[in-house]
A = this chain, B = another copy of it.
Amino acid sequence: MRMSNGPPQVKNTAFCSTSSLLDEMKLLGEVHASSAPKKALNSELWHACAGPLVSLPQPGSLVYYFPQGHSEQVSASTRRSANPEIPYYPNLPSQLLCQVHNVTLHADKETDEIYAQMTLQPVNSEADVFRVPDFGHTKSKQPTEFFCKNLTASDTSTHGGFSVPRRAAEKLFPQLDYLAQPPNQELIVRDLHDNVWTFRHIYRGQPKRHLLTTGWSLFVGAKRLKAGDSVLFIRDDKSQLLLGVRRSNRQQTSSPSSVLSADSMHIGVLAAAAHAAANRSPFTVYYNPRWQCPSEFVIPLAKYHKAAYTQVSIGMRLGMMFETEESNKRRYMGTITGISDFDAQRWQNSKWRKLQVEWDEAGYDERPERVSSWEIETPESLFVFSPLRTYTKVQKLGSVGRSIDVTRFRNYDELKSSIACMFGLEGRLDDPRRSEWKLVYIDYENDVLLVGDDPWE
């Protein structure tokens, strides 16, 4: 990583930009356009719409910002890759250490497409960190009271209503009075924009099933849902029903902007970051998790450091999580076939998409040919002691595991021997035949390491 030196008056500018930052924070509580005050979007619902793989950095935390990744998002939006003739910004490193100042959740009024706005402030090192007050922003994980259904032709046709999967209705909806003839109730549900939708929920037919009838077609029409799109329901902490929409990839419109040319947008990304880097002043980015190239370009430091613990080499096997069409996680396996600069011309020695991968399953459904080291799991990064296919279960381990602070360790060996000591497993961690402790898993988002045996077996 290239480090750019801050100007001599770093302290001063940092102070200036901090006060303007606070102004900005006040503004953020208010409106984007000048209309009625806007409530913050429901975080659980936002994350449910975002899918299981999307996580956002915590306000106050440190991240690396990758201009290349940001530029890729612009390319995906404009459907034009960056013009090679746009100017160079020699003072802009390929990764920029930043403190996250705030993260706000948004959704497009028209399409319900979710995105996040982040304000990042470049810092020289962790020592520079200005502690921002905690605005009560808590990490929101994928809700457990959740279901997501891919809409069928029947669900979206004008001919009928919505067929509710049985488990979903029983887990999420208020209990029906099954003695009534027929059993039915009125559901009151809110979407991301806090619009209220009411649906008639009825249990009828031969055989019996749960259906949403009256009110459903209004919703389909308003959101312009098509077969293949998904709807999801969650119950929030006040056990209010909420619903969201995920459009199929095919449905992604994202018409080219009529505001700014693709070139100017790419230049804007780079110039804004370069200016912020030079002055240590905050800058604002939007992150659209559900677009074609879903690589995050704001990487939490802990997640980034994971990659530093791991040695990768050509021929090494790797796993990587993707979202399935049914909105679940699924790990795809592959082999590292090359390690090189993704863009040797413009971003020499950048860590962005440095690894070339050949995927075991060459589905027409596109997986990237190039990935970054922090996106993948390697045998070492996962401390493999058991077959890879069981890992998804481990990620549900949570409470039965034990945790230690990963950041205390300077390298993999220190970490490993400390784990072994902690659990009385000296010498046994490296031996795949001793399987009392089958699984070890790092939860990078929470900076903790979980150890436990497989509770499912």
Size bracket, chain A contacts = 35 or more
Contact check, A74 vs B260: say whether CB atoms are below 8 A apart.
yes
Assuming A85-B281, A253-B110, is B260 touching A260 (CB within 8 A)?
A: yes
Please measure, in the bound complex, the distance between the C-alpha atom of A80 and the C-alpha atom of B24, giving whole angstroms: 13
Across the interface, which residues of B come within 8 angstroms of A261, CB to CB? 117, 272, 283-286
How many of these chains are in the complex?
A: 2
Provide the residues of chain B in CB contact with A20, threshold 8 Å. Answer: 85
Find A256's partner among B33, B269, B283 (CB 8 Å cutoff): B33
**How many angstroms between the C-alpha atoms of A284 and B34 in the bound complex?**
30
Tell me if A5 counts as interface (CB < 8 A to partner B). no
B271 and A260 contact, CB distance less than 8 A: no
| Given A20-B85, A106-B258, A265:B265 Cβ within 8 A | yes
Which one of B33, B77, B115 lies within 8 Å of A79 (CB-CB)?
A: B33
Given contacts A258-B106, A258-B115, A271-B268, contact A34 B79 (CB under 8 A): yes
CB-based contact A74/B108 at 8 Å: no
Is there a chain B Cβ closer than 8 Å to A377's Cβ? no
Residues of B within 8 A of A77 (CB): 259
Q: Which of B74, B79, B271 contacts A271 (CB 8 A)?
A: B271
A255 and B110 form a contact (CB under 8 A): yes
Chain B residue contacts of A25, Cβ below 8 A: none
Residues in chain A within 8 A of chain B (CB atoms): 17, 20, 32-34, 73-74, 77-80, 85-87, 106, 108-110, 113, 115, 117, 253, 255-261, 263-272, 275, 281, 283-286, 288
* The 8 A-B residue pairs with the shortest CB-CB distance in the complex, in nearest-first order: A268-B268, A271-B271, A261-B284, A264-B268, A264-B272, A87-B275, A115-B258, A77-B259
